[in-house]
Structure 1
């Protein structure tokens, strides 16, 4: 009997945004009769061209569990546990419509208040104002009732569609300014299309806990914190784990409840915010679940959010505040990375790229994303989630030969490459075959003469002779080249620089990884042969079983909850491949798109480890006290030295060729680690 179920855990606002897009996509794979559409699922979002009798590609039992509501209604709920600060759940009820204990006309009724009537006096109620449902959720309610929502799927952002140019980067073409969208959604629950079981929602910290900046209810400066404690440091998350387990026993009450419902678990899938206190909370649950389920696979995605670079102190009143948050985020990312490398089976860090950055695999990675706002969690998560969902899609297929165990074993076959990169192309552009008109601007005189006598052009004569203008392998190679030009690596450091030289190095690492699993998805079977050829061309330098390419005839559904940030699509929503000016002009929302996503163990991980090493050296060699980085405890310095030794080992494991050269920041011998603080200098950095 093959392994089947996967339990998904998500920690923090950004991770929950990613998970919301993920679960909306899983919901769209269900095929319903028109009369049997559940709330949050509308037939207009997804066109099901296959017959109802056709076997579905996706095995819903992997990610969903069957059950019944309190009224006996059959339902499917995600096998998921979402951890979030209380105020960031938004209008999502703790007991949603499927599990509401009270009838619909009893809004405001309270069992506690009813019990106080026997005292003969009125109770004074002090409560926060209820969060109103979003416009999108109200539209879904109208659709469920069969009414016209009278609203367009596209966001009315009021942005100018004209192309806006900025200065060119390096020797490359000029870029349009990064778009700033009107924030359409306050919380991830505002566009969630899935009903969660009550055991799936875990509130962290209570009303007096504030999330980090980027979330809707975050305190963006010390002056407007309203007395709330910001959930910001790794150690806070570790302490919150102890509090949750002592008060609510989440491991036994929530997680074990899902595990016992499964027949044969594949493993656990984690998405953890690493830049705030949720990094500490998520890593503690990872540590305990690895101890509880040591034979299962634990696939971890560590999602970083927020600025980690310093601004000049004279940049404004908020400069010191921004620099403090940057220091805390850097050390949180470092501690989370260390814990993920120790306890996970395979871990993939997630970093939102810098729009103006030049350190990406593809020089044209922005080509089809011209209207994206990378400062908005809704948009940024919509960039990450399709790749995360596609790269792991093989573990959820009905006729699957892939499981979390086989996937992680292939990626970490050397046993020292736990860290992998998530990347790919969204959308995938397929090149058109060459024709004589695309090769030459003017007709050959002989062709013109023959055509005047009715013999046709050179294309038709070449086809009659059985000699195509371009072979299949040449067409696939050209398509793969264009694909790599739009490739984005979501695990590279955000501010990696280096220009064209760095890009060539990244491309070489991608073409010669230690291991690579790529998934190409497209419902258009007419393009399957070309797509497989492009996939083979990309994976040509690595052989099975270390490299694997999979084609799945299921495109990514672009739902109404998904932001329409795409550009350079034709009227049929196909990406344009011919040379054209980078544009931010709005296009019609596509219904579905082909996507290529991959997980790979690559030498490019060295850049991430070097960034982590720089963070350690900054803390140990700098003049700021440990508390400025959110570190406490007398053994913090010794712990950082141990982390640095581990980082040096990881750099050695991933380095190849030019990466083996001695660097000025590198440490060679154990004695060199003792130069951080000299006794004779008379300074105590921890004061």
Structure 2
């Protein structure tokens, strides 16, 4: 087997992860003989999961197939998967959405990692357990909230991970959820922005590829990438996380196929072929508007895909490389447009849609084409940061960021901006 170890940090990351693992569970064939080493006839599945999240529920219980949107309060309300006890690590000392013990600053996450390791030694006791079970590790997939302290926590975790696995492929999705980061004051919004900046600077160094991902919002409903087949409430984390998980699930699908696989190190290597363009974007279309005579452009302002990474729609894209996954197309549909493609069985699409709460009946529509690419869009957005405003968060005390760390983050992102604009 070729495993991908998934790391999840934060509440919204666990929402996305719950949908993701529900989909993986739908792919799995439980009727397969126990002595058969193959996971499924069509793909190589994940078998390693390490999760960090603030929740008191340590074992996911089997839920009804149809979960009412208003009944979903946390990710465990709709998770259908039973996890190994070592998959769950709770962090003491902070409470979700607490006004008295907030976990809303990057530096809080740094400190929390140190305290958690002193108390539980989760890195040695939990992660190493799953690593020992891997036969041929493809790499690491990380889902992390970046608007609060989880960015700092994950940074410390990945720094240690890189000491043990310096050359392993590692893709990090930095998740921004407006519902989780909803703030009423200017300072709270500024703190969230500072957390996001520090996370981007850290993860772009620690990851083979860092992909910032923002949850779809009401203002994006009229943009390309949406269709009458999507029934989504953008104010529901249950729904927005499902949309993101569809893209995450499809992005690395080539590495899970049994035949014609493109493993994670090769795919990321082709995206970051210069080894210096480590920030990419994720775009998704559900379903894909596949015409009878042509394929619409997959990059730029005319793309039918919804860009989940960029915050400035007026920036012109400069695409260095991209990986496109189209699910559910019949071979003859695509053959006249390109060659050398790997056809994805229709069942993969049906199982994906069955696990998500946002899909209506798609009929014969093509579905879920994520476009994972490396370009200068996210970096160009970072160039427009008001650095003078951000200096108010410098300081070594609570709620502040070490001035050296802040300056290093600033210089790192500005250097990255220059790289993307060479």
What band does the TM-score fall into relative to the shorter chain?
0.7 to 0.9
Alignment of 1:76-475 (within 5 A): 79-87=48-56, 89=57, 92-93=58-59, 137-139=62-64, 153=66, 155=68, 183-206=70-93, 209-211=94-96, 218-219=97-98, 225=99, 228-306=100-178, 319-320=184-185, 323-357=186-220, 363-368=223-228, 371-432=231-292, 475=293
Post-superposition offset of 1:334: 0.8
Q: Sort the Cα spacing of 1:291 and 1:33 in 2 relative to 1 into closer, same or farther, 3 A.
A: closer
Q: Is the CA contact 1:236–1:280 (under 8 Å) kept in the aligned structure 2?
A: yes
Equivalent residue for 1:562, pick from 336, 356, 363: 356
In the alignment, what sits opposite 1:166? none
State the distance in 2 between where 1:346 and 1:354 align.
25
In the alignment, what sits opposite 2:421? 655
Q: Over alpha carbons, which structure has the higher Rg? A: 1
Post-superposition offset of 1:330: 0.6
Q: Sort the Cα spacing of 1:138 and 1:304 in 2 relative to 1 into closer, same or farther, 3 A.
A: closer
State the distance in 1 between where 2:271 and 2:397 align.
34
Alignment of 1:25-104 (within 5 A): 25-33=23-31, 56-60=41-45, 63-64=46-47, 79-87=48-56, 89=57, 92-93=58-59
Q: Sort the Cα spacing of 1:154 and 1:259 in 2 relative to 1 into closer, same or farther, 3 A.
A: closer
Q: Sort the Cα spacing of 1:382 and 1:428 in 2 relative to 1 into closer, same or farther, 3 A.
A: same
Question: TM-score of the superposition, structure 1-length normalised?
Answer: 0.55
State the distance in 2 between where 1:254 and 1:54 align.
23
Q: Is the CA contact 1:286–1:343 (under 8 Å) kept in the aligned structure 2?
A: yes
Q: Is the CA contact 2:216–2:308 (under 8 Å) kept in the aligned structure 1?
A: yes
Q: Sort the Cα spacing of 1:262 and 1:627 in 2 relative to 1 into closer, same or farther, 3 A.
A: same
Q: Is the CA contact 1:5–1:264 (under 8 Å) kept in the aligned structure 2?
A: yes
In the alignment, what sits opposite 1:641? 407
State the distance in 2 between where 1:535 and 1:363 align.
27
Post-superposition offset of 1:288: 0.6
Equivalent residue for 2:374, pick from 584, 596, 601: 601
State the distance in 1 between where 2:139 and 2:115 align.
26
Q: Secondary structure at the match of 1:229?
A: coil
How big is each residue's C-alpha offset from its partner over 1:395-421, in whole Å with a ceiling of 9 and x where there is no partner?
Answer: 112224322211121111112100111
Gaps of 5+ in 2: none
State the distance in 2 between where 1:533 and 1:384 align.
30
Q: Secondary structure at the match of 1:367?
A: coil
Post-superposition offset of 1:17: 0.9
Q: Is the CA contact 2:227–2:286 (under 8 Å) kept in the aligned structure 1?
A: no
Post-superposition offset of 1:477: 4.0
Q: Is the CA contact 1:302–1:347 (under 8 Å) kept in the aligned structure 2?
A: yes
Q: Does 1:552 align with 2:344?
A: yes
Q: Secondary structure at the match of 1:335?
A: helix
How big is each residue's C-alpha offset from its partner over 1:212-236, in whole Å with a ceiling of 9 and x where there is no partner?
Answer: xxxxxx34xxxxx4xx411111111
In the alignment, what sits opposite 2:16? 18
Question: TM-score of the superposition, structure 2-length normalised?
Answer: 0.87
Gaps of 5+ in 1: 37-52, 65-78, 97-132, 141-152, 156-181, 212-217, 220-224, 311-317, 433-474, 537-547, 576-592, 657-687
In the alignment, what sits opposite 1:670? none
State the distance in 1 between where 2:184 and 2:51 align.
33
Give the paired residue count: 415
Equivalent residue for 2:322, pick from 492, 503, 516: 516
In the alignment, what sits opposite 1:530? 333
State the distance in 1 between where 2:212 and 2:296 align.
30
In the alignment, what sits opposite 1:8? 6
Q: Is the CA contact 1:429–1:574 (under 8 Å) kept in the aligned structure 2?
A: no
